[in-house]
Amino acid sequence: MPLPAESPAETNAPVVLASGNPHKLAEMTALFAGRLTFIPLGEAAARRGIKLAEPAETGTTFEQNATIKATQYASQLQLPCLADDSGLEIDALGGRPGVISSHYSSDGAELGLSRALRDAHNNARVISELSAVPREQRIARFVCIMCLAWPDDRPRSLVRGEFAGRIGLPNTDGEIPRGDNGFGYDPLFLVGPDFSRTSAQLSSTEKNARSHRASAAAAMLALLSKPQHT
């Protein structure tokens, strides 16, 4: 079914990607592969000649935070805006790191660390907290919630994607950390169903076919194809 004329995926109208993460911009551009054209957040603000107020991500769920980012940036920029809120859920930790995945080592606080250093600290905390958890109980999943919001009163689009796996055992036959094609928790996350490679060992093509963002992107495009989004 063709996408509705009002959809940016049909008109090739630009959509602001509400993220300053260059890894995410590259990944999302590949995932939507010409169906949506993204403008980086900073570039959109420069075009409008405005200084953006960064939304406070006060939600307790991925859905709430994705909606906060998408709606507030869409309102400020007067452009359609796609935001995602993503993170890692580990069953043995009661779903943590969850919504504070990107700042887990500091309990959600922004300390001004470089992304690489922050990732290293987050990974170290996860490894430490799982030190007594056996292999079969280290079940985890990456979660991605995407929200597309408009600057007017059109309904928001909200979808969910997941990527199943488990956290490997450190220094046991070299399970983790492994791989350099990723960021965040990717070097710790063994991909199901065979758990033979980490997410950071997947090629970009493999990851873009299987990841939580891939699943959410497919769901978003399917949702935009429905008549209620005209």
Q: How far apart are CA 206 and CA 179, in angstroms?
A: 14
Residues 6+ positions from 49 with CB-CB distance below 8 Å: none
Report residue 142 as tokens: 């990456």
Q: Which two tokens stand for residue 7?
A: 């959809």
> Which among 128, 144, 147 has a CA at the least distance from the CA of 199?
144
How many Å apart are CA 158 and CA 228, to the nearest integer? 13
Of 85, 107, 119, 194, which residue is the catalytic one?
A: 85
Is-contact 16 41, C-beta < 8 A? yes
Q: Which residue has the tokens 């399917």?
A: 222
DSSP H/E element including 20: none
What length is written for the chain?
230
Crossing angle of the two packed helices 62-77 and 41-48, in degrees rounded to 10: 30
What gap in Å lies between CA 68 and CA 70, rounded to an integer? 6
Contact 149, 83 (CB under 8 A): yes
Which amino acid, 138? R
Active site residue 119: no
Residues that are catalytic: 85
